[in-house]
Amino acid sequence: MSAPWPLPLLLLLLGPVAAALIRIPLRRVHPQPSTLDPLRAWGEPVQHPSLGTSSPGDKSTFVPLSNYMNVQYFGEIGLGTPPQNFSVIFDTGSSNLWVPSIRCHFLSLPCWFHHRFNAKASSSFQRNGTKFAIHYGTGRLSGILSEDKLTIGGVKGASVVFGEALWEPSLIFTFAHFDGIFGLGFPILAVDGVRPPLDILVDQGLVDKPIFSFYLNRNPEEADGGELVLGGSDPAHYIPPLIYVPVTVPAYWQIHMQSVKVGSGLTLCARGCAAILDTGTSLITGPTEEIQALNTAIGSVPLRMGQYIIDCSKIPSLPPISLLLGGVWFNLTGQDYVIQIARFGVHFCLSGFQALDIPPPVGPFWILGDVFLGSHVAVFDRGDTKGGARVGLARARPRRAGQQAGEPAQAQFYG
């Protein structure tokens, strides 16, 4: 794995700040050949221990975070007073916030390549000290819990419990373009019942409703990577209407997918299947047998680790791939689902569909990662006493020439 390619982009708050709507500009990591190996552990039973104790029987703590360095989007937060800045993945597949600690073990190599939290430099730091450990699909870490003030999108003052990573033995964290992870999953996924940061922002009145939306900019000519909106969504990001699909299992953002079609000749997920909307996964993943059939139909050939490579010249003639969600077909063109990689004179194309078998009782399911979410805006709504959790989906609106991320638009909220 080679050294990362930095994107020297400033992360700024753009547009007006209000209690109901917080904008967090995102920056993008471009794919490179050396980061295409996801280093997964899906073939093994993955446990997500609670803080201080193990919980081998807790099915709700399995976290499907995979391949987050391929084509990933991240933004900036601050912790402490004055704020210490960290780049974080905003991950809908997990529910904890953690960053590296200045007290990390000297043999924990990732700590030396990333920003580290210094409790002594914060006047608002409160010691907790409870031990925690998290085992993702692609890496693990452990450390202690702490409490301090969170700054996000220009909003300050929320007191959050977060993890200080003291030990990160997984190589994948060493070369990551981000420092930590900001979980946006449901509270049941959080280790030891730690309150997720979004819940705290809502509890303290800094965000009106537990709703957030992602707009991921897929235009390689644009410098910015898109925008995360907390508290609602921006209709300038999508082409109406929003199609709402109920969350079937409120842990991950899991929904029912009714069918998948490849052109007019192949139908997958024929009897319906589970799907998870996960911003922490770059590609679209599915059961090996079905992904093999899909990639054969579009002319891809196996590469490694369930990935497939395709002739770049075929992109204009590739068949559309359509996902039936909430009774509506969401279409992906070849331009949408093929990842074009060019660096140092080397140009090749990667299929956006990767084989990944998630065993029962949690799986099997498909994961709709950034290949899908980049073409569509997703509004994640946790729901309230009047209704359950749901996800709103619509085709992303192409950005007009000269439009900047966070350019003012009328906010739209859903209850």
Report the catalytic residues.
Answer: 91, 278
Q: What is the distance between the alpha carbons of residues 183 and 39, in angstroms, rounded to a whole number?
A: 21
Q: What is the distance between the alpha carbons of residues 292 and 277, in angstroms, rounded to a whole number?
A: 21
Region for residue 391 given its phi and psi (left: phi exceeds 0; alpha: psi -120 to 50; beta: otherwise): beta
Q: What is the distance between the alpha carbons of residues 43 and 317, in angstroms, rounded to a whole number?
A: 35
Instruction: Give the pair of three-digit tokens for residue 261.
Output: 């079609």
Amino acid identity for residue 145 in this structure:
L
Q: What is the distance between the alpha carbons of residues 359 and 44, in angstroms, rounded to a whole number?
A: 9
User: Which residues are CB-contacts of 407 (< 8 A; sequence separation ≥ 6)?
Assistant: 14, 15, 236
